[in-house]
Amino acid sequence: MKMNKFKVKYKCLNCSYEFSEGYTKGDRIVEHWDCIYLEANECTHGIGCNACRSIMCPNCDSKKDIKIVSRSALEKDNGI
């Protein structure tokens, strides 16, 4: 079981819903011009890979109106 290393809090500008998601070591959250995208550490870089995805509002399903409110570490990484 992979432990979450950091948490990102989001806000949907379409419906004002706030939500957060936890991510594991090696995951990257990338802000593109029209959406926020998860580049997962488990990505196979293949056509059938479904580890990477756009961040979507769980309330209204919007992808283009999501903004990052905060990022925070859940535990300290000692380089192990």
Identify the band that residue 48 occupies on the pLDDT scale cut at 50, 70 and 90.
confident
pLDDT value at position 56?
Answer: 96
Q: Is the pLDDT of residue 76 over 70?
A: no
Q: What's the pLDDT score for residue 23?
A: 93
Q: Cβ(40)–Cβ(27) under 8 Å?
A: yes
Strand 18-23 and strand 36-39: the pairing is: unpaired
pLDDT confidence of residue 33: 81
Residue 45 corresponds to which tokens in the numbers above? 């870089």
